[in-house]
Amino acid sequence: MELSHEQLGEDFLLFLLDKWKISSGESIGSPYSFKNLPFLYDYVRDTFSFKVVKKSAQTGISEIEVAYAIWRAIYKRGNLLYTFPAGEQLQQFVDARARNAVVANEYIYNFVSGSLNLKKFSINKNQIYFRGGQKRRQIISVDASVLLADEADEYEDGVLYTLN
């Protein structure tokens, strides 16, 4: 049975509130809450296939996107590509945030089905690829159904446009 877009948004929201643990900062390991970030509630429930957010730093969007990538890898089919403007910063982000979110959460860790390194997570037989986006060639050969482009305004000119 195919879920409606509304149901997918609700399912991700429930995953975030019931299963997700904050992956960094003062609240690391705590259950996710919208208490200090109420403006993210509608963003989480939005299932439109193309979203762009203009925001200030440290608003919680990257946390949401990592949680979404992992949720989608667990509950749906298809590979994901998570990009960041620079490879070195992405590796630090994956190590400190994404991998920590998986390893520190027994529920999520049970879905690991292979690699869990700085370039690729295998979760429920789906792949989440992590790539820097300095050059087009870093991202064009990845087999992915979903693209998550963090800090999109910082990419070199034209890199993200090649993925359309």
pLDDT of 38-80, one tens digit each?
988 988 888 877 777 777 677 788 889 999 999 999 999 999 9
CA separation for the pair 56, 141 (Å, rounded): 31
Determine the number of helices (DSSP H) and then strands (DSSP E) in the chain: 6, 5
User: Residue 35 burial by CB count (10 A; 0-12/13-18/19+): exposed, middle or buried?
Assistant: exposed
Beta strands 120-123 and 112-116, pairing class: antiparallel
- Helix, strand or coil, per DSSP, at residue 88: helix
What does each of the 164 residues of the chain score in pLDDT, given as a tens digit?
444 444 445 699 999 999 999 888 778 888 998 888 898 898 888 887 777 777 767 778 888 999 999 999 999 999 999 888 877 888 988 998 899 999 999 999 999 999 899 899 999 999 999 988 766 666 677 788 888 888 766 666 655 555 55
Cα dihedral: 32, 128, 144, 7 (round 10): -30
Q: For residue 124, what pLDDT is reported?
A: 95
| Whether 72 contacts 80, CB under 8 Å | yes
Percent of residues in the chain assigned helix, strand, coil, to nearest 5: 45, 15, 40
Q: For residue 156, what pLDDT is reported?
A: 65
Q: Read off the tokens for 90.
A: 């992405």
Q: For residue 49, what pLDDT is reported?
A: 77
